[in-house]
Amino acid sequence: MSNLLDGVTASSVSTDRLRVNVLSVRDSGVPVVFVHGNVSSSLFWQEQMLALPSSFRPLAVDLRGFGDTEPLPVDATRGVRDYSDDVLAVLDALSLGPVHLIGWSMGGGVVMQLLRDRPTAARTVTLVAPVSPYGFGGTRDAAGTLVGPDGECAGGGGGNPDFIQALREGDRSADSPLSPRSVLRAFYVKPPFVPEHEDIYVSSMLSTRIGEDHYPGDATPSEAWPGAAAGTRGVLNTMAPNHFGLADLPTIDPKPPIRWIHGDADQIVSDASMFDLANLGALGAIPGWPGAETHPPQPMLAQTRAVLDQYAAAGGTYDEVVIADTGHSPHIEKPEEFAAALREILAKG
């Protein structure tokens, strides 16, 4: 069975960096580029691509190591720049000019990095439950202060071994709480919601390449709690705060309008994330937690809000849309409400 919805087509785009799988709906209109998050692919964007008016040209890319894009290794010492440079290469290969950018979760970080490196590429920016501008894990206040200089409490060591094994084995069942389907139901969306296209999304998750060069990446042993620091390769290390940080995002020029959309019940990107090692330590799930004075849960939402407030103070504009009764995937859980919010920001560019 095809994982493509009616009206969506896939093509392989050769760039000067790698071969990228790109989904599209039509070949004309103002380009709108969707970037997916971790352990997923472009398949998560299909409903929203089809919902766009005919004046827009929706495109969704598979990042390296996900979907059908060439799985080149990921150099995490560049933060998420391997991913953002790949997306820029697609924009250049297709001669798209300025585009509307939409990034979900880790893809939000990719979009922010792209914006930081080439602000003229963006007409507007929509951040959907984005990773904090200070990365994922390993920071302890709204200013992004590091827990430790080497990415302690972040990176490839934070991947759950049972979930990784289930991905490696292609587990499509809901038999284990750590199978991809169960994780989708428990964390990608707010329970008890079950997506209409759940089987497609599970296939998308299972397209994730596993290993030190991809998911979760490598780790560095550390004497500091929880016993590992960020490595230099693979997905989770790209978001470690010693490799990734966008505190200087407010300095860019020009400054396209930004809309930040997130659910009010997100358990992944949250000020109390169930994937943040410090928060898991505080909950007693990881033994030996040193305490809130040095290792508080990462205030992810507060960090994003602080950087976007600075962006606005420096002459840019942003707004925040919180969708009620929604988890980490508002574009899946509340598609009509999300589509309306997206059309509003697209109208500004």
Question: DSSP per residue over 207-251, as a string?
Answer: T--EETTSEE--EEE-SSTTSEEE-SBSHHHHTSTTT---TTGGG
Cα–Cα distance measured from residue 134 to residue 304, given in angstroms and rounded to the nearest whole number: 8
Which residue in 110, 133, 54 sits closest to 307, CA to CA? 133
Task: Examine residue 192 and say whether the peptide bond preceding it is cis (omega within 30 degrees of 0).
Answer: yes
Q: Looking at residue 183, what is its pLDDT? A: 98
Q: Could you read off the pLDDT of 26-46 as tens digits, one per residue?
A: 999 999 999 999 999 999 999
- How confident is the model at residue 253, as a pLDDT? 98
Strands 19-24 and 9-14: antiparallel
Encode burial over 313-323: b for 16+ CB neighbours within 10 A, e otherwise.
eeebebeebeb
Helix, strand, coil % over all residues of the chain, rounded to 5? 35, 20, 50
Q: Pull the structure tokens for residue 110.
A: 């990719």
Q: Name every residue whose Cβ is closer than 8 Å to that of residue 260 and which is 6 or more positions away in sequence.
A: 127, 130, 304, 308, 318, 319, 320, 321
pLDDT at 337: 98
Which stretches of the chain score pLDDT less than 50?
none
Q: What is the pLDDT of residue 243?
A: 98
- Contact present, 106 and 76 (Cβ < 8 Å): no
Output the six-digit token pair for 92: 């250049």
What are phi and psi for residue 320, nearest 5 degrees?
-120, 125
Q: Structural domains in the chain?
A: 9-149+239-346 (3.40.50.1820)
Packing angle of the helix pair 106-117, 81-93 (nearest 10 deg): 70
- Biggest alpha carbon distance in the chain? 56
Cβ partners under 8 Å of residue 155, min gap 6? 76, 137, 138, 217, 219, 220, 228, 229, 230, 231, 236, 237, 240
Q: What is the DSSP letter of 285?
A: S
Question: Taking Cα atoms as reference points, which of 3, 69, 63, 73 lies closest to residue 33?
Answer: 63
- Give the model confidence (pLDDT) of 261-287 as tens digits: 999 999 999 999 999 999 999 999 999
Q: What is the pLDDT of residue 99?
A: 98
Collapsed DSSP state (helix, strand, coil) of residue 279: helix
Dihedral angle, C-alpha 252, 253, 254, 260, nearest 10 °: 20
**What was the pLDDT predicted at 1?**
65
d(CA 60, CA 72) in angstroms, rounded, equals 19
Residues in the chain, how many? 349
**Strands 258-263 and 122-128: what pairing?**
parallel
